[in-house]
Each structure stands twice: as structure tokens, then as C-alpha cells.
Chains A and B, each alone.
Chain A
């Protein structure tokens, strides 16, 4: 779960996808042309064009009946190879998990979080290895046993074999996933204590844009850095003019018609410069502002406690700072816009805020909807692994395909921040050549290089290398995007634009080139090489 959900922009993402695919295709084309020239002379590049043309013709000749036959073959194969034994592990896990997970926390929200996280992780960890092994071993085993010979000597195109495998494994995995997720949902409902059942919901937040005012009341880029949290939150000082300001938009389109109140939910943190009465929270206050009409309505102060959420129901009828009655929906929310200023009232204490710490809470959705959206994320990841496994197994044998897929999975899940940092060109000391040059010349990374032609060429090569690296890092999909369990476990609805859409787009973006790669890989290889 992103701590700062940002709506997904499909057009920039598409352009970025085209750029990455274009760079990788260009590198592949150059490599292939050079190799074919070296091995086959002038006819080499011609052969490549013929193969590409043949590949396009293959796709145009796809027959649904053949793909379905291969899909059902894969499906039968997986089931008759006792894939369903995974259910036994699942059942054993869930039979005894309740003993260890019940009453793990006195906080009902935490209790729900533990149960939901357990179910979603258990399902992922059981299904993903199974589909990984199935997809990595299916095709090589078919080639080794030569049963594929009797298939490709029929009017079957190689990409139909690939599609049949992918659909077959996805359907098997999908059925197992649906069965497990229904069982898991029922298990959660039975395990959650009766007192916490009301918290089993999917909250729908509307986030605003966050700005700050410093202690003098001037605009500021951020609040105070108390040294407690450096990146995520910044702090506003109590009993000063310092404020955190949220600007919400499009509320008129999102609030239900005929609403009589507005829910503001916050999860602010507290930084205390003196201990005081630790049981007593520090005071904060909301001020609702219509920025166009300059109407301001201060709400009664409330206490903020560490690690606790605050839900405030704002009634429709309020009074402004001059004591005149104002209507929340008619006077304060204007063109769907509402500003909420947050002040800390307790002197010498600090209130920690981040953009998602305050949101307008729309009517809750069913927990089931959120839960199955989380399961959908697992399903998308499963499809990615299936396609990746089948693609890898189209050019290497089962064990190597397994290692390769696992490597891609681990790197894509864990090493993405490292790649981002590496390719951001913000390292001091330049790229590879410049770094070597600096080491040899004993130059500090901070020392600027002289503006000479060799230095410029060196920096230009480094910069080109970084651009290639930037494209190559996308060879590893960001598998973390499919993890929607944090939304579900924390009682939020899984947002469409910030979580569902990007993960669907990510799946499509990777699946298309992988399938094409698998097609050509199987088409151009000899199935009977000794």
C-alpha cells in the first residue's frame, strides 16, 4: 500500500511504456542484425524480417478452438498431477491458525489487521509457488517427453501453444485462488470477535493536497522536522500560527446526495517536547474554509492521542468565526472544494501530519468488496508469474526457468527502490566512466570536472548508459504494486485509480511483450536438437 496514494495517469504511463519498449526493441534489433550479419552474411537481416512477418501472420491465423484445446490440456494436466494437494496444506494451515491468531491484540482494528493479513499472505504464499513451478516446468517437460512433437506437427502455431499454456495455468490458479479466498473470507468472519465486527468495513477516503504555514503564518514547503520522522511526516508547532492545510476537491461529485454531515478522519501523530500527562492527548482544531468567499468556521478542539484514529462528524449547521450561521454544504463547500486547516493548540507540543493523515470519509463499502479486490491483486500477480514462467520455459529448461522467474520476482519485489536510486542520475561522482576517471585521478566526487571535450564525451557516454539502464530496470516488474493487502487489512477500500488501474496496466504492459518473446523463442528453436 502506498502511504501517499496518487491517482494513476494512463497517458503518461502509456508513453513511458512505449519509450521503454522502444529502447529495448532498438537494442534487440541492433544485436540481432549484427549477429545475423556475422552468421549468415547479407541474407541474415532479411531472414529476421521474414521471421517478423511470419510472426505477424501467425497471430492473424490464431484459432480459438486450438487455443482452447491446449488450454484444457494444460488444465487437465495440472489437475491430474495432483496440484490440488495445495488445498490440503491450506486446510491444515487454517484449521490451526485460529489457535495462535485469536486475541493477538486488544485493539479490534489490529486484531482484524492480523487476521486479514494472515489470510491474504497465506493465499499468496501457497498459490504463487505452485503456479511458478507449474508454469516453469510444463513446457520443458512437454519438450523433454516429446509430446509437444505430436502437437506442433499438427496445424498449430507456436504462439497458440504459449497461449494455451498461459490460459490453462491461469485458469487452474484462478480456480484455486477463488476457492481459497472464499474459504479465507468465511474464516475471517468467524474469527473476528463479535465486538469488532462493526469495524470490518472498507473505508473510502478522499484525500486532499497538503500545504503548510510556519509558526509566523507564512507559506512553507513543509512543517518542522522534529528529528522523529524525516521523510513521511512533518510537524506543526502548538499554539503558534503554524498550520497544516488540506485542500479537497470534487467533493460535490463524491459525497452522497442529501448528505447531512461530513466525516473527517485523521491519524495524526504527536511529538511531545515534555512528557506531561501521557494519558491526556494534545489539543488540535479543524477550521473549515471557503477560500473563494473567505468564510471560516472553526470546529471545537479535540484531543489527539498517539497511534489512534480520530473520526469527527461535522454537522451541516455551523457558525463562522463571526458567529453567523453557515451551511456546510452550501457555504463552505464551494464548487466541490473545501479547505481544512489544522492547528495544534497545546503549547510546546507538535502535531505530526502527512497527506494521507486526514481525509474525508465517504460512506463505507462492504468489507467483502475490498477483500476480493485484494484477492484480485493476488490474481494479477499470479497471471504475471504464469506468463513470466511460460516465457522463461520457452527458451530454457525447467530448473533454469524456475530460477530465472524467481530471480525476476525477488528483484521486482525488493530491489526496485535500489534501481530507482541507481538510475536517477543523482549520484555524486557521475556514471561508470566518470567514477573510474575520478578514482584514477584521485578527484573528490564533489569536485567539478573541467569543461573539456574528452570529459564531455565521457559524461555523454555515461548519460547514455544511464538512459539504457533506466529502460533496462523496467525488465523487472514492480511486483509490489500487486500487494493490495495493506488497504484491506487497514480497513480501506482498494482504490481504483491508485491501486487497481495501475496494477492492471502493469500486467498488460508486461504480458504483451513477454508473450511475443515466448512466441518467437519457441518458433525459432529446434524442438529436437541433440
Chain B
């Protein structure tokens, strides 16, 4: 990662006003941050914290009330900057009467791409997001997950240098969510800059190099994920499985050094890992079912009708 600044905001503020110009809400207050080339940057915050407003200010969909925005070295309202940007909105606001191929062809034309290039790029992207089976179906027949996938494909149609993703895993099942995160990692490996905003903390933790946490329009935290999450007051030791005697011996050693043992336990995998493992195994071995081991897990027998007297 080099340190070329791709996005820069200086005291960026946004106030939403009503018809009469009266202040309705301060959506963003003096946000100053920089995003460097090649990093995956996460904007975190609860609902209404100003994440999406920030993205829309970056894209020129909103105009700042105060402050400045520079994106790829150009002002946010400069249309030519969009040549190198891909944007996936929070909901995939696409034209529902088009099918997947028509959608990508349309967005390809907006980048002034020649027909042959559009066809090839559409084919690649439809394959990449796994929509080959639905390429000719109108988007109004798509599930939410499929719509997110075609939304992502349209964001990548121009092979952008900077990708802005608004809640990229929203509406996706755990497999889709994992695929999305894998794709973000792959984009990072290709040297792309990714800015994503989300309130799903686990997703952000998995893929982001740096994060900013916003609350009520203000920047509260900014830094590398690893640095921010590292607890300097606690030491964690991970080993292969130890016997109970070794654990007791270890506790004695730690006690001699006045260390308070907070927890010694076997780690648990995340639910997402379990889900993904289960579904992938199911795909590999169709027909395999879960058979309850203990009598408690088995369903109770259906009650017998009472005998007539």
C-alpha cells in the first residue's frame, strides 16, 4: 500500500434543511479524514450516524453545507472522477425492467465502452457474482441477494480504482456475505481502494485495514483495526490442547508472577464459520442429514388417540 491519498475530507459538514431553510438535522459535523490508495476503509456507526451521508457527499449526490471533499484528486461534483469509481448503493437501486445482461450493457455504455468490451466484461462479471442462471431474467424477479450481486457487478463494470460500498453485505445470506468479503479481499489484492460503510461489525473487522467510527455525525474513532482492537492490558496465549495437569501447572506459574488468570478455555468458532462449513459440506454431499444422537434431541412420538369405550 502506498500513501497516495485517494479521498480527503476537510471539516466536512452537512445540515439537512426543510423547505423554508430551517435546520432539520445535522447529519455530519466537521469530518476530516483521509483514505489511502490500496486500503480497505470501513465507516462504522449506528443508524443515522452519517455513514451514508458521507458516501453521498463523496459521490456528489449531496452538496456539503461546509468543508471540502476531494476524491481521486478532484472535487466531488466533478463528473470525470466517476470514470474510476464504482458505487454500490445501500439498496441496489437498479432498473427493475432490465435483465442482468441489459443492466450491465447499459452501465457499460455510460462508461462509453465499445460493444465488444461491454459484452466481455458483462460475461465476466455475471460469472463472478454467480448469476449465470439468471442472466436473462428481469431484475424485478430477483431475490434481494441476487439484486445485491448484480448491483455489485454494475459497480465493477468499469474496473474501478476506488469502490464505494454502502452496506455491502446487507440482505445477503452468510454464504453471500462470505463471498462478498472474499471479493473485497480480492479487490484489495488487485490494488483497489475500497471504502465500505456498515453497521455489521464482524464484517468490517474481517476485511478492513482501517476504520472510522461515526456517531451523531461526528468522528469518534479513526485508526487501524488491529491497533484499535488490541488490548494492551491483557496477554493471550494460544497453544495446542493441554492436559488438566499442565493447565494447573501453568496457573501456578502465573500466580507466582502475580498475574490474574481471566480465562482458560477451549476457543469456539464463530457461527458464521459453522454455517458456511455446513452449507459447503451439504453441497459436497447432498442427501446427508442430521440424525439426533440423544433421546432428548429426538422428537416426541405423536400422541395416540384415546380408545373408544
Q: Give A contacts to B, CB under 8 Å.
A: 58, 61, 63, 65-66, 68-70, 72-73, 76-77, 80-81, 145-147, 149-157, 526-530
Contact = CB atoms under 8 A, between A and B. Distances in A.
B79 A146 contact: no
B87 A153 contact: yes
B178 to A, nearest CB: 25
Contact of B110 (A61, A69, A77, A147): A69
Interface string B89-127: 101011101100010001101111000000000000000
Contact of A151 (B97, B110, B112): B110
Interface in B63-95: 63, 79-80, 82-83, 85, 87, 89, 91, 93-95
12 contacts: A66-B109, A68-B109, A76-B98, A77-B95, A146-B89, A147-B93, A147-B95, A150-B154, A152-B61, A153-B82, A155-B80, A530-B25
A154 B111 CA distance: 7
Nearest to B78: A54
Nearest to B90: A146
Contact of B93 (A61, A150, A529, A530): A150
Given A66-B109, A69-B106, A153 B80 contact: no
B25 A150 contact: no
A123 B60 CA distance: 43
A111 B110 CA distance: 53
Nearest to B85: A153
A56 to B, nearest CB: 14
Given A149-B59, A149-B87, A526-B63, 9 more contacts: A77-B95, A77-B97, A80-B97, A150-B94, A150-B107, A150-B151, A153-B61, A155-B80, A155-B111
B87 A73 contact: no
Interface string B234-277: 00000000000000000000000000000000000000000000
B62 A528 contact: yes
B287 to A, nearest CB: 42
Contacts of A69: 106, 109-110
B24 interface: yes
Given A145-B93, A149-B89, A153-B82, A63 B112 contact: yes
Contacts of A66: 109-110, 112
A156 B110 contact: yes
B137 interface: no
A529 B16 contact: yes
B79 A150 contact: no
Given A149-B61, A155-B83, A530 B94 contact: no
A152 B89 CA distance: 12
Contacts of A61: 79
B96 to A, nearest CB: 8
A528 B56 contact: yes
A66 B107 CA distance: 9
Interface of B: 16, 24-25, 27, 56, 59-63, 79-80, 82-83, 85, 87, 89, 91, 93-95, 97-98, 102, 106-107, 109-112, 151, 154, 158
A158 to B, nearest CB: 8
A530 B24 contact: yes
Contacts of B25: 530
Contacts, number: 81
Nearest to A77: B97
A171 to B, nearest CB: 16
From B16, B27, B95, B110, name the one whose CB has the most chain A CB atoms within 10 angstroms: B110
B5 to A, nearest CB: 21
Contacts of B60: 152-153
A529 B97 contact: no
B18 to A, nearest CB: 10
From A58, A73, A149, A154, name the one whose CB has the most chain B CB atoms within 10 angstroms: A154
A147 B85 contact: no
Contacts of A63: 112
Contacts of A526: 61-63
A383 to B, nearest CB: 24
A527 B79 contact: no
Contacts of A153: 59-61, 82, 85, 87
A63 B112 CA distance: 8
A365 B300 CA distance: 93
From B16, B61, B82, name the one whose CB has the most chain A CB atoms within 10 angstroms: B61
Nearest to B57: A528
A157 B79 contact: yes
B61 to A, nearest CB: 5
Contacts of B102: 76
Contact of B107 (A81, A154, A528): A154
From B109, B111, B112, B151, name the one whose CB has the most chain A CB atoms within 10 angstroms: B109
B197 to A, nearest CB: 15
Nearest to A63: B112
A155 B82 contact: yes
B19 to A, nearest CB: 10
A65 B95 contact: no
A65 B112 contact: yes
Given A63-B112, A66-B109, A154-B107, A149 B82 contact: no
A152 B76 CA distance: 12
Contacts of A76: 97-98, 102
A182 B80 CA distance: 45
Contacts of A80: 97
Contacts of B110: 66, 69-70, 151, 154-156
A149 B94 CA distance: 9
Contacts of B106: 69, 72-73
A147 B110 CA distance: 14
Contacts of A65: 109, 112
B245 to A, nearest CB: 63
Contacts of B56: 528
A147 B94 contact: yes
Nearest to B17: A529
Nearest to A526: B62
Contacts of B158: 154
A80 B95 CA distance: 11
A528 B24 contact: no
Nearest to B84: A155
B61 A154 contact: no
A68 B83 CA distance: 18
A66 B79 CA distance: 13
A80 B98 CA distance: 9
Nearest to A70: B110
A152 B106 CA distance: 13
A154 B110 CA distance: 7
Nearest to A81: B97
A153 B151 CA distance: 13
A72 B97 CA distance: 12
A61 B63 CA distance: 22
Contact of A529 (B62, B94, B151, B154): B62
A152 B110 CA distance: 9
A146 B154 contact: no
Given A149-B93, A153-B85, A155-B80, A527 B61 contact: yes
A97 B102 CA distance: 42
The 9 closest A-B pairs by CB, nearest first: A69-B109, A146-B93, A154-B110, A80-B97, A153-B87, A155-B82, A528-B61, A530-B16, A155-B83
Contacts of A528: 56, 61-62
A49 to B, nearest CB: 15
A528 B111 CA distance: 23
Contacts of A152: 60-61
Nearest to A78: B97
Given A68-B109, A528-B56, A529-B16, A73 B95 contact: yes
